[in-house]
Structure 1
Amino acid sequence: MNEPFAGAAEKPIPEIWYGIPHGYVQVDLDPPVEQIEELVQQVLALPDGLRAQAEPVVQFYAGFVTALNKQNARACLLGMHLDEYDEPATSVITFSTVPAHGTSAKAIIAGTAADTVDGSAHPLELPAGLAYFSEEERRTPAPGRPAEGSDGPLMGDIWQGTVAVTGSGGSEIVVIQLVTSAVEMAEDFRNILLGVAHTLSFSDPSLSGDEAGTGAREPEPDSVVAAVRSVFG
């Protein structure tokens, strides 16, 4: 894995920590204005050919971050792996929180898993609390230009896995979602998503109870960090 753990503590409760699997990098969802301005200036300074290639990337990043913030995303991980043909397979993992609006989060999660007719969702017992897992394959608009003469946008198939976990206060639900267009690797990405879900913690996994005030970083053998290393190697 790239990092033993990461936190998303800048936004309102619950604070969350999670393991970052190998091949994923954290996306800054709240970049400083100065950083964006510097990036824009760097792009504008490029030669015409390179600038034409770089501008859509910057625009995509800006739109991507804006969309995630509108959906109350707490954190985002971008992943790139190789498929069986050594071609890049990309995926996105997002963490978000959903208020239970006065209803027990546990009741919502248990009810959702029980009421799913097609069996696509089932309950999970995670170290962080009661959860459910669901998955689906669906067709959705894809990046790129549609074929000439096409009436609609370019379409593609994606696999989407979702884990919903009761928050630390019992009134929030933490949603972990993985989306990829590499539907043929669904089993691999399912294992990644479930592995990340098992590392979710509502307390800093780098500190034991006695070490919380000392800043010690060495995890206990049975801690969440140790579990992260066990899951991801």
Structure 2
Amino acid sequence: MIDDTARDPSSKIWYALPGGYFDVPIDALDPMPGSEQETHLDQVLALVLDVVPEDQRDRYASALRDVRYMAAQMRSEGVVACSLGMHYADDGSAVMSVFTVALRDIEWAPAKITAVRAVSVRECQEEIELLTLPGDRPASISDTVITMPALAGVPSQDLYQCNLYIPTPSGAQLGVLTLSSTAVGSRKHYRDMMEGIAHTVSFHDPLPEIERVVRGAGPDRPSDGIQDSIVADFG
């Protein structure tokens, strides 16, 4: 299934996610001040608060402010997409994860050096691995488990985090794909999933090639080698 966002002409990065992930509209949650989008957001938030019991209104208002603040923080750090995942663990319990994609401007360097450098500056790097993506593109991946400090009303807990680093063809930007989850027992599953996602990442629109493969006939039909490559990357 191809999401509508894949056809956004302003897109700078494409990737495939497994089922169970839902986009968070961070742009809509952090509109430009004075814009029409900000007016619409304020109207929606007002409607939400109107249906909340009066004794809980302050708590909901605070939570909504926190959401807007987090959206602004993500955008300030170059995050261009965010998705929430809900899946079932092996024991039948529900597990959640957060997946983000960021594009960061970097000083130019050969792609392989950029991939190595990106993963080596992590403070808590574990299980570091260099990847070779389709087209012999270099990338790197690392994951770790960190302990989050206790906050008001929230006990201390372990958090699993996996990071992918993929340099753009120009060498002037770095794609950083991050998955975070408190389901540390599913670490291997998430690591394998992120490696699979890495092989679908593209910095040019792959849809025309994919759609030619889907049609599978006529003069636009790609060679078997290209078709095999696309199937391997996108399923």
Coarse TM-score class (shorter-chain normalised): 0.7 to 0.9
**Aligned-residue offset at 1:7:** 6.4
Q: Which has the higher contact order (CA 8 A, sep 6+)?
A: 1
Which runs of 5 or more residues in structure 1 are unaligned?
Answer: 147-153
Which amino acid is 1:6 matched to?
A: A
**Aligned-residue offset at 1:157:** 0.4
Aligned pair partner of 1:145 in 153, 157, 171 = 153
Structure (1 or 2) with the greater strand fraction: 1
**Aligned-residue offset at 1:183:** 0.2
**Aligned-residue offset at 1:112:** 5.6
**What is residue 178 of structure 2 aligned with on the other side?**
177
Give the SS at the match of 2:199.
Answer: helix
Matched, 1:37 2:37: no
Q: Is the 8 A contact 1:134 1:162 kept in 2?
A: yes
**Aligned-residue offset at 1:207:** 0.8
Which amino acid is 1:40 matched to?
A: L
Matched, 1:27 2:60: no
Q: TM-score, normalised by structure 1?
A: 0.76
Structure (1 or 2) with the greater helix fraction: 2
Q: Deviations over 1:176-199 (max 9, x none)?
A: 111111000111111221121111
Q: Is the 8 A contact 1:132 1:163 kept in 2?
A: yes
**Aligned-residue offset at 1:10:** 3.9
Which amino acid is 1:121 matched to?
A: I
**What is residue 131 of structure 2 aligned with on the other side?**
124
> Mean Cα displacement is larger for which, 18-27 or 39-48?
39-48
Supply the RMSD in Å over aligned alpha carbons: 3.4
Tell me the percent identity.
24
| C-alpha separation in 2, matches of 1:139 and 1:8 | 38
**Aligned-residue offset at 1:76:** 1.1
Aligned pair partner of 2:72 in 47, 66, 77 = 66
Q: Deviations over 1:13-55 (max 9, x none)?
A: xx11111211101111210313311221112311325645643
The aligned length equals 215
Q: Is the 8 A contact 1:140 1:158 kept in 2?
A: yes
Matched, 1:86 2:102: no
Q: Is the 8 A contact 2:126 2:143 kept in 1?
A: no
**What is residue 102 of structure 1 aligned with on the other side?**
108
Q: Is the 8 A contact 2:163 2:179 kept in 1?
A: yes
Which amino acid is 2:194 matched to?
A: L
Which amino acid is 1:22 matched to?
A: G
| C-alpha separation in 2, matches of 1:30 and 1:85 | 36
Matched, 1:17 2:14: yes
| C-alpha separation in 2, matches of 1:7 and 1:173 | 22
Q: Is the 8 A contact 2:103 2:175 kept in 1?
A: yes
Q: Is the 8 A contact 1:4 1:19 kept in 2?
A: no
